[in-house]
Structure 1
Amino acid sequence: MSTAALITLVRSGGNQVRRRVLLGSRLLQDDRRLTLTCHGSTSEPQCSRFDPDGSGCPATWDNFGIWDNRIDEPILLPPSIKYGKPIPQISLANVGCASHIGKRKENEDRFGFARLTDEVLYFAVYDGHGGPAAADFCHTHMEKCIKNICFNNSPGDSIDQNLQHLIWDHFKDLLPKEKNLETVLTLAFLEIDKAFARHARLSADATLLTSGTTATVALLRDGIELVVASVGDSRAILCRKGKPMKLTTDHTPERKDEKERIKKCGGFIAWNSVGQPHVNGRLAMTRSLGDLDLKTSGVIAEPETKRINLHHADDSFLVLTTDGINFMVNSQEICDFVNQCHDPNEAAHAVTEQAIQYGTEDNSTAVVVPFGAWGKYKNSEINFSFSRSFASSGRWA
């Protein structure tokens, strides 16, 4: 798709022009010139580049190698012009989400998604431990924190007035606004962690000092630039050509670099009765938001980040999951389960329910974001086996 063709589309269309309009603006002249007769008979329907098989159905974007037609969204014209190729608009109405309590007394998982600006979308999952306080705090304030760092917004009325000064005191020193989304997410994680620490120490509730949460946050800019930041063992997976691309790496004491940092800071690793390593015998991860009592033992809030450009002809979806799913269902299984579903909401429920069927007892949360190749890589041979080996699943898959 040339930039000239897209500029022509802007002049003749508007930002809600559908894909067939773009096809028309690009191929109208060729269609008039290259009309062919099907089956060698002038009495039968004619076929063209719009209707290559004479079926009466219009050509899809996938016929032209751009993206699959199962996601019925208009293109984003400014980003399409910027990148020189059509980019579909990702609608929040099509995002799927599900959260199951499992066999726990309380669901400490939280998730969210929002449009921060016309260009930037936000998706997140948080898996709380030691109570839901830290996960609730992140769920409530992370979105606003990112907006403040990116766009220099004041806290506004959307933040609890009792916490407004705690958070804005950190943001005001971050001017001018930051454009690099990896830096934005790193700053947001660190500032939220500081704000929660101040909130916990001013609170009469002493349990907040041992409350913590994982955090996996994704920002999508212009429908094509995907940036993910994570602490803990919640995950982000991109499904490309039907195969999982892991965008996060678990922060667990099994990692040599993480274990060395814990030891250098004076912490220690202890194994529980089932052979799982924990920091100071308490925490199964080496990075988190909150867990204030373990900060001096090397548990940090700085996330690892990853940036990737989407290929809408190949990328089907992004899925964010908490460890209630990750410990029981491996990345390829998640891709396979989602690819069998008709829509992202059904897919999110299928993933969480499958984790329960496989035996998870933890809270299980999934957020599924569809991209251009949604529905393109279905595998009709997938078997939903309840007897597959535990060794093929879990955090090491």
Structure 2
Amino acid sequence: MSTAALITLCRSGGFHVRRRALLTFKLLQDEKRVVLLCQSSTSDRRSSQFDVDGGGRLPSWDSFGIWDNRIDEPILLPPSIKYGKPIPNVSLSKVGCVTQIGQRKENEDRFSIGMLTDNVLYFAVFDGHGGIAAADFCHKYMAKHIAQCLSQEEDLEVVLTKAFYETDKEFARHVHLSENVSFLASGTTATVALLRDSIELVVASVGDSRAILCRKGKHKRLTEDHTPERKDERERIKKCGGFVAWNSLGQPHVNGRLAMTRSIGDLALRSVGVIAEPETRRIKLQHGDDAFLVLTTDGINFIMNSQEICDHISQCHDPVEAAQVIAEQVLHYGAEDNSTIIVVPFGAWGKHKHTGTSFSFSRSFVSSGRWA
């Protein structure tokens, strides 16, 4: 291409051409910038989080006009080059996790985070019922089954579906060998997220624990509750010979016993349509807009709606503080159930802040004293 043609292209291409050229140059020119970010101490990063005038603040990718990454994570070069845009490293050390017993006699919630391979992170919450057996089993063995499937399968949705089935089958064998009749009534929700290359997010869920993505300050539900209120779920239960009964509070239950239509465990209700097959969702993260992922159990969901959770977290300094704030808030609002939350930060952490307060019918219901 001639010099004149190149000049003409740059003038006509405008912003996009110059931005692409700048991005390519910054990614390839010098890896020392990334090394510097990796070697910076936690205290240095914390002290520079909101240094808006740039004095003493470590270089972030906001200086390239792409996003304001307030957690100052280094950029992953191989995925960035592969996907053609900068991708920040999502570090387990930045993830916030809290579980609390509430006013129950025992905490039947469990959660897990970890690194399954060099490029796949694992996050999960389990909300047990009918005892802790099923939730404990998932906490111990779900990650193992996912890791086994990852060695054989590339598609993360297929991996999660197979892992849910295998975990449920193995729990059934465990119950059979234990000969403990009480385990037949034990079950758990399971909401699991896998993050590959810090950009490919896949979520699988059974029950009513939730996964929520905060994008541009707005909540984006990645899971749907599996309850008899859903027509498709209710029809499956009836087709399998089960029935739905409503209690005095107007809540539907399968065969008058279980508030959800999918779970791991609950072996006594398998014959009436309660299944362990998860619904899955795949999301390609937009780190310029996506601030964080939240996994919650219903001890939080019943008290705070999804947007309210996002708004509270958006006001916090870091994900660890955010998880603690949400856990304390639901207690303040009168929660009695076990509650668990995981907060995973992404590139736009701290970028979008909202000060409005959302109305929560559930919280108003609890605060009225009917549940106290």
TM-score bin (small chain) = 0.7 to 0.9
Alignment of 1:215-226 (within 5 A): 215-226=190-201
1:390: which partner in 2?
A: 361
Instruction: Tell me if structure 1 keeps the 8 A contact 2:125–2:190.
Output: yes
**Match for 1:103: what amino acid?**
Q
1:213 aligns with 2:231: no
Instruction: Tell me if structure 1 keeps the 8 A contact 2:303–2:362.
Output: no
What per-residue deviation string (whole Å, max 9, x for no partner) do you get for residues 88-109 of structure 1?
Answer: 0011010001111111110000
CA gap of 1:85–1:279, structure 2 versus 1, over 3 A, is same
Which moves more between the two structures, 274-283 or 204-213?
Answer: 204-213
2:304: which partner in 1?
A: 329
1:347: which partner in 2?
A: 322
Report the alpha carbon displacement of residue 349 of structure 1 after superposing the two structures with TM.
Answer: 1.2
**Match for 1:289: what amino acid?**
I
What per-residue deviation string (whole Å, max 9, x for no partner) do you get for residues 4-38 of structure 1?
Answer: 547735xx427953569xxxxxxxxxxxxxxxxxx
Instruction: Tell me if structure 2 keeps the 8 A contact 1:321–1:365.
Output: yes
1:231 aligns with 2:206: yes
Instruction: Tell me if structure 1 keeps the 8 A contact 2:299–2:336.
Output: yes
Report the alpha carbon displacement of residue 181 of structure 1 after superposing the two structures with TM.
Answer: 0.1
1:142 aligns with 2:142: yes
CA gap of 1:73–1:58, structure 2 versus 1, over 3 A, is closer
User: What secondary structure does 1:311 align onto?
Assistant: coil
User: What secondary structure does 2:35 align onto?
Assistant: coil
1:265: which partner in 2?
A: 240
Alignment of 1:241-320 (within 5 A): 241-320=216-295
2:28: which partner in 1?
A: 8
Report the alpha carbon displacement of residue 73 of structure 1 after superposing the two structures with TM.
Answer: 1.1
1:162: which partner in 2?
A: none
1:109: which partner in 2?
A: 109
1:195 aligns with 2:131: no
2:339: which partner in 1?
A: 364
- Measured in 2, the distance between the counterparts of 1:329 and 1:272 equals 23
2:66: which partner in 1?
A: 66
TM-score (normalizing by structure 2): 0.84
1:182 aligns with 2:202: no
CA gap of 1:148–1:346, structure 2 versus 1, over 3 A, is same
User: What secondary structure does 2:195 align onto?
Assistant: strand
Alignment of 1:93-108 (within 5 A): 93-108=93-108
1:17 aligns with 2:72: no
CA gap of 1:199–1:376, structure 2 versus 1, over 3 A, is same
Instruction: Tell me if structure 1 keeps the 8 A contact 2:212–2:293.
Output: yes
What per-residue deviation string (whole Å, max 9, x for no partner) do you get for residues 295-321 of structure 1?
Answer: 000000000000001111111100000
Instruction: Tell me if structure 2 keeps the 8 A contact 1:240–1:316.
Output: yes
**Match for 2:93: what amino acid?**
A
- Measured in 1, the distance between the counterparts of 2:35 and 2:282 equals 29
1:158: which partner in 2?
A: none
Report the alpha carbon displacement of residue 389 of structure 1 after superposing the two structures with TM.
Answer: 5.2
What per-residue deviation string (whole Å, max 9, x for no partner) do you get for residues 96-142 of structure 1?
Answer: 01111111110000001001111100000000000011000000001
Gaps of 5+ in 2: 1-19, 39-51, 366-372
User: What secondary structure does 1:116 align onto?
Assistant: strand
Which moves more between the two structures, 264-273 or 355-364?
Answer: 355-364
- Measured in 2, the distance between the counterparts of 1:66 and 1:351 equals 29
How many residue pairs get matched? 333
- Measured in 1, the distance between the counterparts of 2:351 and 2:86 equals 18
1:154: which partner in 2?
A: none
**Match for 1:219: what amino acid?**
L
Instruction: Tell me if structure 1 keeps the 8 A contact 2:296–2:339.
Output: yes
CA gap of 1:288–1:8, structure 2 versus 1, over 3 A, is same
Instruction: Tell me if structure 2 keeps the 8 A contact 1:327–1:393.
Output: no
Instruction: Tell me if structure 2 keeps the 8 A contact 1:60–1:68.
Output: yes
- Measured in 2, the distance between the counterparts of 1:63 and 1:358 equals 41
User: What secondary structure does 1:369 align onto?
Assistant: strand
**Match for 1:213: what amino acid?**
T
- Measured in 1, the distance between the counterparts of 2:25 and 2:166 equals 44
Report the alpha carbon displacement of residue 58 of structure 1 after superposing the two structures with TM.
Answer: 6.8
- Measured in 1, the distance between the counterparts of 2:78 and 2:304 equals 39
Report the alpha carbon displacement of residue 54 of structure 1 after superposing the two structures with TM.
Answer: 8.8
Instruction: Tell me if structure 2 keeps the 8 A contact 1:65–1:313.
Output: no
Report the alpha carbon displacement of residue 63 of structure 1 after superposing the two structures with TM.
Answer: 4.0
User: What secondary structure does 1:287 align onto?
Assistant: coil
- Measured in 2, the distance between the counterparts of 1:285 and 1:259 equals 10
CA gap of 1:364–1:391, structure 2 versus 1, over 3 A, is closer
CA gap of 1:272–1:89, structure 2 versus 1, over 3 A, is same
- Measured in 2, the distance between the counterparts of 1:112 and 1:239 equals 21
Instruction: Tell me if structure 1 keeps the 8 A contact 2:302–2:363.
Output: no
User: What secondary structure does 1:267 align onto?
Assistant: coil
User: What secondary structure does 2:253 align onto?
Assistant: strand
CA gap of 1:261–1:54, structure 2 versus 1, over 3 A, is closer
User: What secondary structure does 1:179 align onto?
Assistant: coil
User: What secondary structure does 2:212 align onto?
Assistant: strand
1:164: which partner in 2?
A: none
What per-residue deviation string (whole Å, max 9, x for no partner) do you get for residues 247-281 of structure 1?
Answer: 00000000000000000000100111111000010
- Measured in 2, the distance between the counterparts of 1:233 and 1:281 equals 17
- Measured in 1, the distance between the counterparts of 2:265 and 2:111 equals 17
User: What secondary structure does 2:153 align onto?
Assistant: coil
Gaps of 5+ in 1: 21-51, 152-176
